[in-house]
């Protein structure tokens, strides 16, 4: 149970970071 929760948290964290990276790239491109 604990390992499953840990993996879920890592996956969620990765998705959040990917989203922010996409958002940042979009902002930079828009500013260009």
pTM across the whole model: 0.59
Give the N- to C-terminal CA distance of the chain in Å, as an integer.
47
Place of tokens 């998705």: 15
Q: Above 90 in pLDDT, residue 4?
A: no
Share of the chain above pLDDT 90, in %: 56
Biggest alpha carbon–alpha carbon distance for the chain: 47
Six-digit token pair at 28?
């930079």
Measured CA to CA, the distance from residue 19 to residue 3 in angstroms comes to 24
Higher pLDDT, 3 or 26: 26
């Amino acid at each position: 149970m604990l390992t499953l929760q840990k993996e879920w948290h890592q996956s969620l964290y990765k998705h959040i970071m990917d989203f922010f990276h996409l958002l940042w790239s979009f902002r930079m491109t828009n500013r260009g």
